[in-house]
Amino acid sequence: MTEIIWSPQAIEDVEAIRAYVARDSARYADLLVERLVSAVEGLETDPLSGRVVPEFGDDTVREVICAAE
């Protein structure tokens, strides 16, 4: 199993997203954060499912694109 390490910037971004959505709906903000975290946690069992972050060019740094529905 692969260890997921959240960067401080990623954590701040998720917190900012939650705060922004919570201005309209705390419930939907919580659901969105759960969805984002769940998508990232999928990398633990399938680490190559994320794409390599182009800015880093490092195969060990991956990102998951999570579209809002």
- Whether residue 38 lies inside any domain: the answer is yes
What is the pLDDT, as a whole number, of residue 62?
84
Residue 69 pLDDT exceeds 80: no
- Whether residue 30 lies inside any domain: the answer is yes
Is 4 buried (19+), middle (13-18) or exposed (0-12) by CB count in 10 A? middle
Is 14 buried (19+), middle (13-18) or exposed (0-12) by CB count in 10 A? middle
Tell me the C-alpha to C-alpha distance, in Å, between residue 36 and each of 57, 58.
23, 22
Which tens digits make up the pLDDT trace of 32-66?
A: 999 999 988 888 888 888 889 899 889 888 888 88
What is the pLDDT, as a whole number, of residue 67?
74
Q: Which domain holds residue 58?
A: 8-63
Confidence of residue 20 (pLDDT cuts 50, 70, 90): very high
Is 29 buried (19+), middle (13-18) or exposed (0-12) by CB count in 10 A? middle
- Count up the domains in the chain and report the number: 1
- Whole-number Å distance between alpha carbons of 11 and 14: 5
- Whether residue 49 lies inside any domain: the answer is yes
User: What is the pTM assigned to this prediction?
Assistant: 0.76
- Whether residue 29 lies inside any domain: the answer is yes
